[in-house]
Amino acid sequence: MAYEKCIDVSEEIWKDFEECDPREIAGRTGAHYQEGVYHLPFLDRTLLLSPGRRQVQAAGSPEAEPGFRLCLAALLYLLHVNPALLGPRISPLELPGGATFFRGPHSLPGGPLEERFGWDTAGFLAAGKKLRGEIRPAGDAAVALEVFPGLVVEVILWQADDEFPAQVSFTLPAHLDRFWFLDAVWGLLNLVTQEVFHAAAEESS
């Protein structure tokens, strides 16, 4: 089954979200809660999450469908993540079980980024800046993206040349696996890749 929309998020996750104490979530994550709605920063925008209506919207774009990946990641962040305990950044392959998990169908999503930006570091950095990323001194170009408060994913690009193909790697918080299973981590990296592509398309249009 293909999961594409917010409505495809499981009943169990929505039920857990409805039953949570808003004060606990706001205090732990820094999300703002007002009149039954959480206001959650996400890259260059703010998400509005309503437990009562089981709805996720982007502020200023109420009709836009956020998509399954974003809705699931936002809900799992609010339900489980404590940004204060995420730790330093490491490769996803260094997470417990990561070297085995991130293979085959769960391979890290660097390939599409390598193909798109292997000869275009300027476009890569422009997309990162559009998402309010921080330029980092790694590889030939690197951007640290604060996906949600305190949850930073770094995307590092080594540009292609006449001898070597482009290469993309990621870093993320060392203790993210304390809060999420590895399939959720994989979903997060795919979400970041998707957002970088969208930002690049908007920059070039």
pLDDT tens digit sequence for 120-146: 999 999 999 999 999 999 999 999 999
- Amino acid (1-letter code) at residue 49: L
pLDDT at 111: 96
User: What's the whole-number average pLDDT of the chain?
Assistant: 95
pLDDT tens digit sequence for 77-88: 999 999 999 999
β-pairing, 37-42 vs 45-50, is antiparallel
β-pairing, 45-50 vs 55-58, is antiparallel
pTM over 0.85: yes
Q: Alpha helices of the chain — where are they, by DSSP H?
A: 11-19, 22-29, 68-80, 98-101, 110-117, 121-130, 182-204
Residue 68 pLDDT > 80: yes
pLDDT tens digit sequence for 143-194: 999 999 999 999 999 999 989 999 999 999 999 999 999 999 999 999 999 9
